[in-house]
Amino acid sequence: MQPIQPAPAVSQPSVVIATSTPATMSAPVPVPITCADTPTVSQLVSKPQTGVVDEDGINLEEIREFAKNFKIRRLSLGLTQTQVGQALTATEGPAYSQSAICRFEKLDITPKSAQKLKPVLEKWLNEAELRNQEGQQNLMEFVGGEPSKKRKRRTSFTPQAIEALNAYFEKNALPTGQEITEIAKELNYDREVVRVWFCNRRQTLKNTSKLNVFQIP
DNA sequence: GGTATGCAAATAAGG
DNA sequence: GCCTTATTTGCATAC
């Protein structure tokens, strides 16, 4: 079919934050170049100057408390993050992965996300504890439900597909609808998936070149 | 084998 | 419908 090309040399969007300074200069500020990075709950909560309530009126202290408790209660039920994630995907409400549970427990998420996730976890955990009281078997039934779900599963492109997409991108970063349809057909991916790929690719390209502007020569 | 995390796919919102 | 920009979230894999 198609011989795999050596490498299009499309430099990966590695976020290089230039901190390497000539030995003499001692930088008092850690790393000020963060383009619009929304801070996580844990970052905010560990900052004494910010109160317990953030700009959007989210009670960070309450979330921190709940997250801590959630973990304790989850472990008491003998459940893993993976199990909780799977169970959440089964019950109604949004689906979440093990990563999401992990990030919530660590508060490695924005206050907004935490605020959204908290009631979902709260409700689920209460239900799980109730089931557990009725017997271990009951809990396991509750945990192991059917998949189904809202958010589209993340597509994993094959290395060959990425290579091909990058090749198209280098020729034309903004393909027309018709072109997208053809590329999708050619590579055998959903048209929408391909369209979003181009959007994301343009975005990362733009962001990385923005970052480069700040790099010390 | 459970948890943490980097990268990037998917989504939200505004135009 | 499609774009951009900002953000959320999950797969894959390192720890």
Residue A128 CB coordination number (10 Å): 22
Domains of chain A from N-terminus onward: 41-143 (1.10.260.40), 159-215 (1.10.10.60)
Distance in angstroms: CA A14, C1' B5: 15
Q: What pLDDT score was predicted for residue A23?
A: 35
Ordered mean pLDDT values, 10 residues apiece, chain A (217 residues) = 32 32 38 59 74 73 93 94 88 85 95 91 90 82 70 92 96 96 96 98 89 57
Distance CA A56, CA A99 (A): 25
Q: What pLDDT score was predicted for residue A202?
A: 96
Q: What pLDDT score was predicted for residue A69?
A: 95
Q: Which residue has the tokens 């990362």?
A: A204
Is residue A163 within 8 A of residue A9, CB to CB? The reply is no
Residues 124-163 of A with CB under 7 A from strand C: 151, 153-154, 156
Q: What pLDDT score was predicted for residue A84?
A: 93
CB-facing half-sphere around the CA of A163: CA atoms within 13 A: 10
Distance in angstroms: CA A135, C1' B12: 41
Cα angle A157, A163, A168 (rounded to 5 degrees) comes to 105
Beta partners for residue A59, in sequence order: A53
A104 touches strand C (CB under 7 A): no
Q: What pLDDT score was predicted for residue A29?
A: 37
Q: What pLDDT score was predicted for residue A190?
A: 96
Distance CA A192, CA A177 (A): 10
| Chain centroid, CA A204 distance in Å | 15
Closest residue (Cα, C1') to C7: A38
Q: What pLDDT score was predicted for residue A211?
A: 63
Distance CA A4, CA A57 (A): 53
Give CA torsion, residues A96, A97, A98, A102, to 10 deg.
Answer: -50
